[in-house]
Every structure is written in structure tokens, then in C-alpha cells.
Structure 1
């Protein structure tokens, strides 16, 4: 894979090894958009517009998963929970890190 520079919050946790639980490092979403975000934002390369930093949690979250109505303005409030579950399944949230990229801190 060619070298690519991404910018993440300095307090973001380090990227876990592939297969380990997601810790909200943001590396995968900063590199490219997932299938759900590709359809919503019509872009293939990152950073994903729905990648949200949480200062309270000191980690990144997927906005499509946590706040689908914000990103899908036409979504009625009654459908937000169902949309969140769909996004969780579609992006395999909670299934472990599937990003094989190596990350290094900036000097």
C-alpha cells in the first residue's frame, strides 16, 4: 500500500491490531469511506465526512451510526433507531478492526 498521510486528533487512541476491538482511533475512516458513506457522500477516498471526534470520550465515532438523522436529513425521527442498527450491521461495528494500515505518529 502506498504511503498516505492522514491527520487525526492528537488525543486519539493508537490504532489497534487488525482483528482487535475497535477503540475509535479513526485511522480506517480517515483513509477511506465505508460502503454506507460512499453512497451517502459520493466519495471513495477519506476522510469520511461522518467521522466525528468526541472530546468527552477521547475517540472518534461514526456519525452515520450514532446520528443518522443528521446525515440523512430526510430520515424521520421514528426511523433513526432502525437506521442506526442498519449502519451498525453495514459497517460491521463491534466486529473488530479490519484496517490493515500501519500508523505512525508525526514527529
Structure 2
């Protein structure tokens, strides 16, 4: 069964796994991180915290508001999404 995820038309292309995050939004559209699971009581995506930022033309997380929450979800560490984009 194929998984179909709809993202904003201006979203950047998914980077290769391990490369810096560019805000493509695929990972959060598919699953919910541990912080989102606690906050929203859901396991699968799309995460309600995933928000499109028109000015930055990228997706951002509304939960990653400080250094501790960004560290907990791994924001800025690198792409950990192994799904192919296509």
C-alpha cells in the first residue's frame, strides 16, 4: 500500500537522510514525534504542530519553541526520515 502525503506546493524538496533539515515537512506529516505524542495524544501524523511558514517558505514546528524542546525532538540535527520523496 502506497502512502500519499500532501505538502505545500512551495515546500523544499526532502533532503537525503542525515543531511541538515530544510523544513520540507515530510517527517511530521507522516508521524508524530515523542513531544507531539504527549501533547496531542496521537501516534501518527500529520502532527498538529506542523505549520507552514509563508515568510520562510518552509514547515516549522509550533512545539519547538525553546532549546530544550528543539533538542528533545532533534530539530536541527539532520533529516531522520527514511521515506523516499516522490
Q: Shorter-chain TM-score: what band?
A: over 0.9
Look up the SS of the partner of 1:53 in the other structure. Answer: strand
User: Counting helix residues as a fraction of each chain, which structure ranks higher?
Assistant: 1
Q: Of the two, which has the highest radius of gyration?
A: 1
**In 1, Cα distance between the equivalents of 2:55 and 2:84?**
26
TM-score norm. by structure 2 comes to: 0.96
- In structure 2, the partner of 1:87 is 69
Higher RCO by CA contacts (8 Å cutoff, separation 6 or greater): 2
Which residue in the other structure is 2:85 paired with? 103
Using structure 1 for the length normalisation, give the TM-score.
Answer: 0.77
Structure 1: gaps of 5 or more residues? 67-83
Aligned residues: CA RMSD: 0.9
**Runs of 4+ residues over 6 Å off in structure 1:** none
Q: Which runs of 5 or more structure 2 residues have no equivalent in the other structure?
A: none
Q: Give a deviation string over 1:62-89, Cα, whole Å, max 9, x none.
A: 11013xxxxxxxxxxxxxxxxx222111
